[in-house]
Amino acid sequence: MSRTDVTAPARATAGAGAAQRIVVGGAWLRIPSAAPGVFRVRPLPGEATASYTQRLADAYQLTLPQLLDGANITLHRHGTLPAAELHLNHNAAHHLAVLTRTPLPHLTRALPRLVPNDDAHHIAATARWKRLEAEQQPVRACTLCTRHRSHGTTDTAWVHRPPHRLVCSRHQQAAPDPRLTSPIRTGAVPELAAVNYAHQRLLRHPRTSTAWATARAITTRWYDHQQHLTHRWHTRLTRLCAANPHLTTTGSASAALLTRDLVIYPETVALARALAALPNRPHRDTGNALNLIAHRLGLPRLAGNANDPLRVFLTHTRH
């Protein structure tokens, strides 16, 4: 059977729904590489390329390999989210942009891993699965945001979420770990949404990057070694587990580990803001700095020993 034999009836019955019927065949019924698609599927901020293309395939009721083949993109290797990401060369990224009717620069801004890693424009359009290290893996996106941007076809998406977007304040969801099979409902811990706005304001400070990295390392160490804020964090963890029973049934890791970044989030932001505002070392008094930070964290004092990570930082860092 030829392509003409298959498409002739569709041409004869062209009408209001004909545009959608051009993609319901198998992968051999190709979407021309330079032709725009029928559906507009908006990417989520920071979405993984594999996640976006899978949602696009869902909209067309195709598998991911069928969608790529229909866009004249050759797929190599096999992989699954979140352990692997889909890497497109320049021509494949261009084909995807045309299919989605989205300018490539706009698509690249939304999909941080889409940036083609080659300069050759003459080679065939190809996509390749590549494994990701644990710290590079995307996490689950907010299910309601995903469904809104997927025409109701799916509520599953994966995003490379920056730290300041840990919580979806609008829908009170978060997914701090890629091993989670569904997002965590955060309504039982309202301070998580509130501190998310404080984190947004922190981004305007020139020392944000260094202060955040330092604060997260310190609070993570406190959490793992049960220092200073253990009772508060245990209470927060208990509330999250009560509202999210699936946290206690995930076999890959404990609830305490899966929610760690979320549990320590308010104190990490508060500590980062305090560190960003500290004067340089020649004008800094360690005792006064510890008292200030204790106040910011809502503690009467920080009586850490000489090896406490915060004391070490304040004593030895130059900034």
pLDDT digits (tens, 9 = 90+) for 6-48: 334 434 444 444 444 444 444 334 444 446 778 889 999 999 9
| Mean pLDDT, residues 194-213 taken together | 86
Measured CA angle at 243 (ends 237, 246), to 5 deg: 90
- In the block, tokens 């008292």 appear at 291
- Does the pLDDT at position 118 exceed 80? no
At a CB cut-off of 8 Å and minimum separation 6, what does 139 contact? 82, 158, 159, 161, 175, 176, 177, 178, 180
Q: How far apart are CA 100 and CA 169, in angstroms?
A: 28
Give helix then strand counts, H and E, for the chain.
15, 8
CB 261 within 8 A of CB 253: no
Q: How far apart are CA 122 and CA 104, in angstroms?
A: 17
The region, left, alpha or beta by phi > 0 then psi within -120 to 50, assigned to residue 92 is: alpha
Decide: helix, strand or coil at residue 128: strand
Pairing between β-strand 74-76 and β-strand 126-131 as defined by DSSP bridges: parallel
Quote the pLDDT of residue 39: 82
CB 150 within 8 A of CB 165: no
Give, in order, the Cα–Cα distances in Å from 171 to each of 11, 190, 245: 44, 12, 18
Task: Copy the structure tokens of residue 273.
Answer: 């803001």
**What are the pLDDT digits (tens) for 38-96?**
888 999 999 999 999 999 999 999 999 999 999 999 999 999 999 999 999 999 999 99
Quote the pLDDT of residue 25: 42
Verdict on whether the full-model pTM lies above 0.85: no
